[in-house]
Amino acid sequence: MKRRFWLQSLPVFLLISLFGAGSQALAQTQLLDQVIAVVNDEAITQSELDSILRPIYEDYKQRYSGDKLFRELNEARTKLLNQLIEDRLVYQEAKEKKIEVDAAQIDKQMETFQKKFPTLETMETALNAQGVTLHGLRERLEKQEMVRQLHEQEIRAKIIISPSEIEKYFEEHPEEFTEKDRMRVRSLTIKKSDEAREKGLKDEAASQKINELETKIRGGADFAEVARENSQDVNAKDGGMGDWVERGAMIEAIDQVIFKLKPGETSGVVETAMGYHLFRVEEIRSGSKRGLEQVREEIYSILYRQKSETRFNEWINDLKRKAYISIR
């Protein structure tokens, strides 16, 4: 889960969760809700955390189970709580610095948000389902803009990247700007049985099947059609056509075979732990190295992200040192 440096791109439903404190309804809820953290004079409640954790929980349930599910959820909970604490600290700092928001800018944001719904009534219904009014939404957007402006002052305005830094990065990271040989291939896969895969055995039936298909293709059958009708990999529906792959990106047994082929050529049968494969090369692009001027802006972005993260960590840690934070 990546750290946020600013909040202007967050979905509105998440902003509602992060900046929900302050509404009368939430204030009443907090009286009965469990307080799990206090940041200076503001409480973070279990319901706030749950509202963000709930969709993550639903996703994790599909991916994990048992102890693994428990560990992943516990890790997500810890990260999200820390995120809530940091968000609250940043907003408090924005208030302390008396950052002002342009009402006209908030009007435009409200209009942009409303365009996502067919009518104003449907938007209000969607908001009300989350316990938020139009006025409440405006308050959240104002808070979001205050945080964005604070970030501009404390992070963006203090980052300087010199031409010499860009040149040094280019010299020290040549591999990042060198494109390897790439090719686009069609694949045809016949999977081994579960037992053969688990025990590392040859699957006679699958082997016979791939050999029959190879003979058919060598006899003039269209590779794409044969793959579409018979292949058992994810590219079958596209006639076996995959994305561009770089030299070294595939497992060695496949990589060594396909990069010896020319466009239009078909490989022999390649056996892997998963099954048996045929490949047909459609197009090849030779690798090349980009020059400094071609990648100057790209390097600037890389260095900017690095310095942003460093500056943000320093700044937020300083806010934490000065704050009263209690996790319960």
Helix axes 134-154, 103-114, angle to 10 degrees: 120
The band of 30, judged by pLDDT with boundaries at 50, 70 and 90, is very low
Residue in the structure block whose two tokens are 């889960």: 1
Q: What does residue 57 show for φ and ψ, rounded to 5 degrees?
A: -60, -45
Do 223 and 144 belong together in one domain?
no
Do 42 and 99 belong together in one domain?
yes
Do 185 and 150 belong together in one domain?
no
Total domains, the chain: 2
Do 127 and 219 belong together in one domain?
no
**Dihedral sign, CA of 250, 254, 256, 262?**
negative
The answer to whether residues 269 and 208 touch, using CB atoms and an 8 Å cutoff, is: no
What mean pLDDT comes out for the span 210-235?
96
How confident is the model over 152-172, as pLDDT tens digits? 999 999 999 999 999 999 999
What mean pLDDT comes out for the span 75-94?
94
The answer to whether residues 268 and 134 touch, using CB atoms and an 8 Å cutoff, is: no
Q: Is the pTM of this model over 0.75?
A: no
Do 21 and 94 belong together in one domain?
yes
Do 40 and 78 belong together in one domain?
yes
The answer to whether residues 156 and 258 touch, using CB atoms and an 8 Å cutoff, is: no
Residue 291 lies inside a defined structural domain of this protein: no
Do 135 and 207 belong together in one domain?
no
What mean pLDDT comes out for the span 314-319?
95
Decide if pLDDT at 224 tops 50. yes
Give the domain-ending residue among 136, 154, 172: 154
The answer to whether residues 80 and 50 touch, using CB atoms and an 8 Å cutoff, is: no
Do 196 and 97 belong together in one domain?
no
Domain that holds residue 244: 181-286
Domain at 270, CATH number? 3.10.50.40
The band of 32, judged by pLDDT with boundaries at 50, 70 and 90, is low
Residue 200 lies inside a defined structural domain of this protein: yes
pLDDT above 90 coverage of the chain, percent? 75
Do 149 and 196 belong together in one domain?
no
Residue 176 lies inside a defined structural domain of this protein: no
How confident is the model over 237-292, as pLDDT tens digits? 999 999 999 888 899 999 999 999 999 999 999 999 999 999 999 999 988 889 99
Give the domain-ending residue among 119, 137, 154: 154
Mean pLDDT, rounded, of the chain: 88
How confident is the model over 45-62, as pLDDT tens digits? 998 898 888 889 989 988
Going from the C-alpha of 203 to that of each of 217, 234, 288, the distances in angstroms are 21, 21, 41
Token output for 213:
């298909």
Those residues with Cβ within 8 angstroms of residue 225's Cβ, 6 or more apart along the chain or in another chain = 239
Do 145 and 186 belong together in one domain?
no
What mean pLDDT comes out for the span 20-29?
43
